Amino acid sequence: MEIPFTSQQTYIDDFSASDYFKTYYVDGEGILGEWTNFVLQNLHETFTAGGVKGDTLLDFGAGPTIYHLLSACEVFDKIITSDFLEQNRDALQKWLKKDPGALDWTAVIKAVCELEGNRENWEKKAEKLRSKVKEVLKCDALKSNPFEPVVLQPADCLLTCLCLEAPCEDIKSFCNVLKNFKALIKPGGHLLILSILDATFYYVGKKYFSSMTTRKDELEAAFKEAGYEIEKAVYAPRNDTSRMDICDYKAYYYIHARKPE
Ligand SMILES: C[S@@+](CC[C@H](N)C(=O)[O-])C[C@H]1O[C@@H](n2cnc3c(N)ncnc32)[C@H](O)[C@@H]1O
């Protein structure tokens, strides 16, 4: 579907955190079961056998979600999460404060506990993540310092899931964001990007949002051009094509890159 590029103002006016959660992540109904498994499995491996750990993890463009932080909280002392939209940052704060109106991530938390061989302790896991998240910041991928006016110390790891296809119009803009991310990462530090290939749009509530169409043949070249070393690249096809009307991506990707020493 040809969707015109979604402006920042449209995001501010029309992106609903609760509709996004309901459409994509709510237990048993959200369309992203396959995606969530892809992310949880890859990040579990990265933060265990993969040996990625450190003092600070910077999470970029979380939306209203926390699923991707559940393994990270075992190996980082401090997590700074972020999103462009106030409504998403509010949803994150509600979950952190156990507000009665918070989004319910219980099923995903249990799934990560299962991956880690510790299913019965899901409430402790949630508490651990809450204790590690120290800040929820505003970010804008299109600024040379995406956290402006806040200046952050470079982190051991920058993680971003399903985000850059929203603000970037094309691979050139995506590559530019990767270049700007380098100031946010320590020398030798990690950049972990998990997202989707070949999408043109996604649907939230009653609105369609554009997606940059990330192509496999351009993706790794963008990381190299931005000056990273690729440690690992994982691609998996979308098997469940039942809801192409909600989002038309064809595959999942995970790039683990490093900023050179
Ligand atoms: C598809 S959602 C992904 C949310 C979440 N990371 C996930 O994994 O489900 C796209 C996200 O991009 C964010 N976004 C839109 N414009 C942005 C910008 N200029 N800079 C950073 N993030 C932006 C939106 O607020 C939204 O949270």
- What is the 3-state secondary structure of 133-152? EEEEEECCCCCCCCCCCCCC
Nearest to 36 by CA among 180, 252, 261: 252
Q: Which of 35, 84, 105, 164 to mutate to test the pocket of ligand 1 (most atoms within 8 A of CB)?
A: 84
Distance 120 CA to ligand 1 centre (A): 32
CA end-to-end distance (rounded Å), the chain: 42
53-56-57-63 Cα dihedral, nearest 10 degrees:
150
Distance 146 CA to ligand 1 centre (A): 13
pLDDT (tens digit per residue) in 153-210: 999 999 999 999 999 999 999 999 999 999 999 999 999 999 999 999 999 988 999 9
Average pLDDT of the chain is 96
CB distance 88 to ligand 1 below 6 Å: yes
Question: Relative to the CA of 63, which ligand 1 atom is closest?
Answer: 27
Q: Are 210 and 3 in contact (CB under 8 A)?
A: yes
The architecture of the domain spanning 8-258 is 3-Layer(aba) Sandwich (3.40)
At 31 the pLDDT is 74
Q: Which of 9, 25, 34, 83 to mutate to test the pocket of ligand 1 (most atoms within 8 A of CB)?
A: 83
Q: What is the DSSP string of the chain?
A: ---PPPPHHHHHHH--HHHHHHHHTSTTT-TTHHHHHHHHHHHHHHHTTT---EEEEEE---TT--GGGTTGGGTEEEEEEEES-HHHHHHHHHHHTT-TTS---HHHHHHHHHHTT-GGGHHHHHHHHHHHEEEEEE--TTSSSTTTT--PPPEEEEEEES-TTTT-SSHHHHHHHHHHHGGGEEEEEEEEEEEEES--EEEETTEEEE-----HHHHHHHHHHTTPEEEEEEEEE----TTTTTB---EEEEEEEE---
Distance 118 CA to ligand 1 centre (A): 31
Question: Relative to the CA of 85, which ligand 1 atom is closest?
Answer: 25
At 161 the pLDDT is 98
Which residue bears the tokens 């380098």?
Answer: 182
Q: Are 137 and 86 in contact (CB under 8 A)?
A: no
Flag whether pLDDT at 219 surpasses 80: yes
pLDDT (tens digit per residue) in 21-67: 999 999 877 778 899 999 999 999 999 999 999 999 999 999 999 99
* Gyration radius of the chain's alpha carbons: 17
